[in-house]
């Protein structure tokens, strides 16, 4: 099933941007009158008929709408420190979108080796992964933000922090904490290769974060982030 | 914590191969008398003292042994069809080792686009990932085998097949099936991009495989394989 992303939708008509239009008309050779499937990026899939087959801007008449198409029964924010090797973070973005995530926040911690992060590529990966995994909602990849700033404004109902410091702080497994949670609005904070600083951890706990562990395996940052997304996926499976 | 892999161990002494020895002596500049941590690849971590610091072949006296070091409380075989893009399969190998797997079997299905697979690179990735994630046991990456041949000789107590055919066959979620399983010996079969053939699926079911789904998300082959490993990881967490 081929999906296109509509940059613009009103009630009756949607439009594809130049890149999607070129793919639709030049590569897949769709013409006016063809039926195509379009996502609005906000959760709705649209069955459409092409009325304007310009490779610069396809316009299509909306025949049927499928709200909540390819959605999941929870809202998950994963705030993760970008890895030194950018490919590893982008791999996490692709996999988290396939599994099911709503917001990805690149956070910069005191001990982050990568202090600068440009989200444009990750946003393109999120769009491609949403289309490939048949989801009408494209998860948001926010601009990078400091760990402290994220902690101070995180609105999630259940806030988890995967915190590696041994001993110092009692931790439950993410599985147990999610099992005991009746709601569906979750955020999880994943630290950099060098972990959070004690100050960051104290600030998070002061803001209601629950320190959790991800099991006995020692996981890379991007593997921890994907494992957190899998924990939510299995919790609501 | 830096780990070395011993290609050879007797009760009292272990030896590193040329690559590990060069890394130990030339890169990390260890000398005779230094204490190092070594894995035997079979599940035991060894605290050792170097007695011979040759970059061609380090020899170390075993001071203390830690059996079952970095192990997990289940035995998991993931048999997965190699992906067209080899990086995706190798990514699965790295992540499955981090999370916890015992045997990885590259299987070639009737509909596999990749008919030939060379496991040497994946074996090096498994070794590196085991050392990086602090596991004394290096999961085995077998030679490639046909799906039918694998099905006919798979000795696992619980045999699962992630089978995409909709409707045709009733499927439970992998989470439910694992929850209801009291044992610890599991294999899971993950098909190629084009899924298994109906004949392969029938053969598997005739051999006692339970068809399972991995939830509502449509996952790429390598993501399905990692998700299966995560399902076992969370089951025994």
Same domain, yes or no: A28 and A135: no
Mean pLDDT of A90-119: 96
> Total domain count for chain B?
2
Same domain, yes or no: B117 and B52: no
DSSP, residue by residue, B137-191: B--EEPPPEEHHHHHHH---SEEEEE----SSS--EEHHHHHHT--S-EEEEEE-
Which of A91, A217, A237 faces B175 most closely, judged by CB atoms? Answer: A237
Mutate to test the interface with B, among A39, A74, A84, A95 (most CBs of B within 10 A): A95
Residue B217 near chain A (CB below 8 Å): yes
Give CA–CA dist B184/B150, Å, rounded: 20
Q: How big is the A-B interface in CB pairs under 8 Å?
A: 72
**Per-residue burial over A37-70, b = 16 or more CB atoms within 10 Å of its CB, e = otherwise:** bbbbbebbbbebebebbeeebbbbebeebeeebb
Record: contact B237-A91, CB cut-off 8 A:
no
Domain that holds residue B62: 4-67
CATH code, domain with B61: 2.40.240.20
Residue numbers in A near B223 (CB within 8 A): 95, 98-99
Same domain, yes or no: B103 and B179: yes
Confidence (pLDDT) at A165:
65
Same domain, yes or no: B46 and B82: no
Nearest chain B residue to A130 by CA: give it. B218
Record: contact B215-A231, CB cut-off 8 A:
no
Instruction: Assess contact for B158 and B187: CB atoms under 8 A.
Output: yes
Locate B6 and state its tokens. Answer: 């011993």
Residue A72 near chain B (CB below 8 Å): yes
Residue numbers in A near B234 (CB within 8 A): 175, 215, 230-231, 234
Same domain, yes or no: A79 and A52: no
Same domain, yes or no: B41 and B156: no
**How many C-beta atoms surround the C-beta of residue A230 within 10 A?**
27
Same domain, yes or no: A111 and A208: yes
Same domain, yes or no: A35 and A148: no
Which pLDDT tens digit goes with each residue over A49-88? 999 999 999 999 999 999 999 999 999 999 999 999 999 9
CATH code, domain with A90: 3.40.1280.10
Residue A233 near chain B (CB below 8 Å): yes
Q: What value of ipTM does the predicted structure carry?
A: 0.94
- Mark which of B67, B90, B105 sits at the end of a domain: B67
Record: contact B231-A231, CB cut-off 8 A:
no
> Is the predicted pLDDT of residue B225 greater than 80, yes or no?
yes
Q: Which of A123-127, A166-170, A228-232 has the lowest mean pLDDT?
A: A166-170
């Amino acid at each position: 099933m081929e999906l296109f992303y509509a940059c613009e939708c009103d009630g009756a008509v949607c439009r594809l941007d130049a890149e999607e239009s070129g793919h639709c008309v030049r590569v897949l050779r769709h013409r006016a009158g063809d039926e195509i499937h379009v996502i609005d990026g906000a959760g709705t899939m649209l069955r459409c008929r092409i009325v304007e087959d310009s490779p610069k801007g396809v316009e299509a008449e909306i025949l049927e709408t499928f709200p909540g198409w390819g959605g999941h029964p929870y809202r998950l924010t994963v705030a993760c420190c970008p890895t030194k090797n950018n490919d590893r973070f982008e791999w996490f973005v692709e996999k988290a979108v396939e599994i099911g995530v709503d917001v990805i926040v690149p956070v910069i911690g005191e001990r982050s080796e990568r202090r600068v992060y440009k989200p444009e590529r990750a946003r393109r990966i999120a769009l491609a992964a949403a289309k490939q995994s048949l989801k009408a909602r494209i998860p948001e990849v926010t601009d990078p933000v400091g760990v402290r700033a994220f902690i101070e404004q995180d609105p999630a109902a259940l806030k988890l922090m995967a915190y590696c410091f041994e001993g110092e702080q009692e931790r439950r497994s993410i599985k147990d904490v999610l099992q005991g949670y009746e709601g569906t609005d979750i955020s999880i904070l994943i630290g950099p290769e060098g972990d959070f600083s004690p100050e960051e951890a104290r600030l998070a706990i002061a803001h209601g974060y629950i320190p959790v562990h991800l099991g006995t395996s020692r996981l890379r940052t991007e593997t921890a982030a994907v494992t957190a997304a899998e924990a939510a996926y299995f919790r609501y499976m």
